Structure 1
Amino acid sequence: MMKALYSGVSGMRSHQTKMDVIGNNIANVNTNGYKSQRTTFRDVYYQQIKSPTNPGDDGAGTVRGGTNSAQVGYGAQVGSIDTIHTLSGYTPTNKQTDVYINGEGYIKVQTPNKDTFYTRMGALSFDQDGNLVDI
């Protein structure tokens, strides 16, 4: 009985994670450059409760077929949370510094600490020193 409850709890926890991911997707629907995510699940593990048998002679000269194994699963867990890298729609901004990447590729940006990052967010502008920066 307790094993069935644990199985149900693991499914509810996994589903809660999926709901959190969906909520995050909805909350960021109008965020520039946001890429939606999806959740996949996987089995926790199985316990074998019946071993398989080979076909064999029953002793009376009759050949009987074998039996398959029987397994009991113990729930599910989150397998992965994947980012979906599809192209977003094009929205003209009429800013001369904004760019739109149509197809594959990223914009290489550098932080003040000289760390390098890559983005597809094309909202660019000039800072007070005349450097082209992302927002």
Structure 2
Amino acid sequence: MMRSLFSAVSGLKTNQTAMDVIGNNVANVNTIGFKSSRVVFQDVYSQTLSTATAPTETTGGINPQQVGLGVTISAIGLNMTEGSMQLSSNPLDFAITGEGFFVIRGSDGAYYYTRNGAFTLDAEGYLVTANGDYVMGVSGNAEDVANGNPLYD
């Protein structure tokens, strides 16, 4: 009796996580550069109650009896397909075709990756995101971009 409840509870918990992921996807449907996620489920080990038997001359074989012990989340994967491109009047808006990310340096000094290519210039002429984070050049240096050096070679 309790085993069946554990299996049901594990299903409820994993489906709650799946609903959270779907809700996040819906909430970010208009976020530029957002990559949707999907949940991959995996069954938890099953317990064998009786083993299989081989067929005899007078009877057929018997299949094993197994009880599943629930489900768990194997992974939450990102959908890395390209989104639709939109025409922009800003000459500093970029889009990435294929794989790749823009490297930015946050206000905390850490490096981050984004596919959001909506950029502007700050007062010093540096290419920045809407939050003011610096866009890094090919060498990981914001001065490369400000000096007119290409973002890629």
Q: State the TM-score, normalized to the length of structure 2.
A: 0.76
Residue equivalent to 1:125: 120
2:65 to 64, 70, 76: 70
String of CA shifts for 1:23-45, please: whole Å, max 9, x gaps: 00010001111100011111111
**Distance (whole Å) between structure 1 residues aligned to residue 28 and residue 110 of structure 2:** 26
Can you give the 5+ residue segments of structure 1 that lack an aligned partner in the other structure?
57-61
Can you give the 5+ residue segments of structure 2 that lack an aligned partner in the other structure?
131-153
Letter in 2 for 1:37: S
Write out aligned runs for 1:37-116 (5 A). Answer: 37-56=37-56, 62=57, 64-111=59-106, 115-116=110-111
Instruction: Report the structure number with the largest CA radius of gyration.
Output: 1
Letter in 2 for 1:24: N
Tell me the number of residue pairs that the alignment of Structure 1 and Structure 2 aligns: 130
**Distance (whole Å) between structure 1 residues aligned to residue 103 and residue 20 of structure 2:** 30
Higher relative contact order (CA 8 A, sep 6+): 1
| C-alpha RMSD of the superposition | 1.8
**Distance (whole Å) between structure 1 residues aligned to residue 106 and residue 13 of structure 2:** 38
Structure 1 or 2: larger strand share? 1
**Distance (whole Å) between structure 2 residues aligned to residue 125 and residue 82 of structure 1:** 31
**Distance (whole Å) between structure 2 residues aligned to residue 113 and residue 95 of structure 1:** 27
